[in-house]
Structures are given as C-alpha cells and as structure tokens.
Homo-oligomer: A and B are copies of this chain.
C-alpha cells in the first residue's frame, strides 16, 4: 500500500494471497510483466493462464516468463490468443486463486487495440465465476484514454453491485497523483 505505483500495490496483494501450486489468471497479459510475477508466485506445480487478443502480447509474455522464471521452477503456462471474456471455456469454475486485469492498451503498441467496456464487463463476470472462495480479482483501470472512464465506471458499478454476503469489493486510488490509474479489488469470501 505504501508503493507510489498501483501496479506494485496490486502485486503486493497477489503475493500475499498466492501460494505455490495455485491456479491464477492474467486476463490481460500485455507485455507479460504481471504473468511473470504470477508465474514466480505459484511456481512449480502451479498453473498460469494468460489471455490477450494480440499475438505480439502472447509472444512477449512467453519471453517474459522464460526470462524471469527458471525452467525447473516454472508453473504450467497456458497462453490464450483469445478474448478474456471467454475465460470460462479454459479455466474451471472456482479454481483460480487470483485473477488480474490491467486494462487499457498494450504498452508500446498502436494504442488502437484497447480493452472495451462490454467485453471487460463480461470478462470480470467470468473472473468472478472462476475465482475460488477466498480468492482475489484485481482490476487496474486507466482513465486517460478515450473510453477509459466509461470502462472504469462500468466495472466499478458491477463490483459495487455484488452482494456483501459473498463479496468484499473495494477501490484504491492515489490522492496526490490524480492521473494515476485506479485499482478495483474484488474478494470472494472464503
């Protein structure tokens, strides 16, 4: 929480939740940094599913994991060149300990391929299904690009509508860096 970057706050939280052998999902693998973090956290015996609609992201993620996790410590890595909204077709319900989203566009890409409000909402709904009790879904939302605010507002509203009997949902935002992204957290109660 004392990090100045919400990406690091998010990683801290994943690290607190994940144990070796867990199943987890990077719903927007992009350049692969988050997937590599997850792969290290679950290690040998674990499983990481990574989704992206861009081949460039899938390739970068494969390289990022290979470059940061030694082969004999690596989990099973499943790279899916498809929409994260189709998550339930490859990840079993109630199996994932952590599901992470880093919305917006792929850093370094053309910025024309961005996550979209409707598919993001479907993907977050799918994430809630594949999450195991006690698990965490974290969603980092960027609001600086066209459609970003609407996407963030939609996901926030969906998280806010989850019943308190089964879910704890919260928002973390930096106050003295107003242009920073916003972190939404969705916990499934044990």
Contacts and interface: CB of A to CB of B under 8 A. Distances in A.
Contacts of A162: 176
Contacts of A178: 160
Copies in the complex: 2
A138 to B, nearest CB: 9
Contacts of A4: 164, 168, 189
Interface of A is mostly: mixed
Contacts of A164: 4, 176-177
Interface of A: 1-4, 9, 13, 17, 134, 136, 156, 159-164, 167-178, 184-185, 187, 189
Given A1-B170, A168-B2, A176 B163 contact: yes
A-B pairs with lowest CB-CB distance, top 5: A160-B175, A2-B187, A169-B175, A4-B168, A169-B176
